[in-house]
Amino acid sequence: MAENTPTVADPGPLGLAAFATTTFVLSLVNSGLIPAGDVVVVLPIALAYGGIAQLLAGMWEFKRNNTFGAVAFTSYGAFWLSFYFLATKFLKGAPSDAVAIFLLAWTIFTLYMLIASFGTNGSVAVIFLVLEVTFIFLTWGNFANSSGIIKVGGYLGIVTAILAWYGSMAVVVNSTFGKTVFPTFPFKK
């Protein structure tokens, strides 16, 4: 085996797909495209796919010595696990700003990951840019208790999910075909 040959397959597409799917379903609720009472549909996805699968992708990124992927997938996996517990165990009777404070912390984290994403490729950088704007609107909407601002965040979340699905698909298809079929727009080094 060559010295630089990875010992595990690229976990990035798994992490992106798990992030995209979970974000898409929650964003359907946030946008108002499905009723708020249907938020329960996202909980199993948040726990299993967004949480556990993404956390595993992050651990495999550590194995591949990819600091960015390891931090991103492990952290957003933890986001979805904590979202699951926040939604199922802690929100009943919590102060109205509880969700806003939770989202504010992730807005700050996403900002520094956005900066780091400029060392990856255009596809990942755009995902993080739109995710940052999504978190800004969701945080603002929750602090302001504004369903309209939250709906904008929901629609932005749908765009984020579509971009993440594209990123995941591009890596899987390109790897499968052994050539660039769907570009990820690498940054020149």
In a domain, 185, yes or no: no
Listed in sequence order, the residues at least 6 apart from 166 whose beta carbon sits closer than 8 Å to its beta carbon are 123, 182
Structural domain boundaries enclosing 19: 12-86+104-177
Whether residue 118 lies inside any domain: the answer is yes
Q: How far apart (Å, rounded) are the C-alpha atoms in residues 145 and 97?
A: 9
What pLDDT is stored for residue 133 in this prediction? 99
Question: In sequence order, what are the residues at sequence separation of 6 or more whose Cβ sits closer than 8 angstroms to the Cβ of residue 146?
Answer: 140
Neighbouring-strand partners of residue 186: 121
Q: What is the pTM of this model?
A: 0.94
In a domain, 74, yes or no: yes
The pLDDT value recorded for residue 92 is 73
Find out whether 54 and 76 touch, Cβ atoms under 8 Å.
Answer: yes
Q: Tell me whether residue 98 is in a domain.
A: no
Give me the number of domains the chain comprises.
Answer: 1
Residue 67 pLDDT: 98
Residue 1 lies in a domain: no
pLDDT at position 8 = 82
Q: Is residue 6 part of a domain?
A: no
Is residue 133 assigned to a domain?
Answer: yes
Instruction: Identify whether the C-beta of residue 182 lies closer than 8 Å to the C-beta of residue 121.
Output: no
* 127 assigned to some structural domain: yes
pLDDT along the chain (189 residues), means of 10: 70 98 97 90 96 98 97 98 90 77 97 98 98 98 96 98 98 98 91
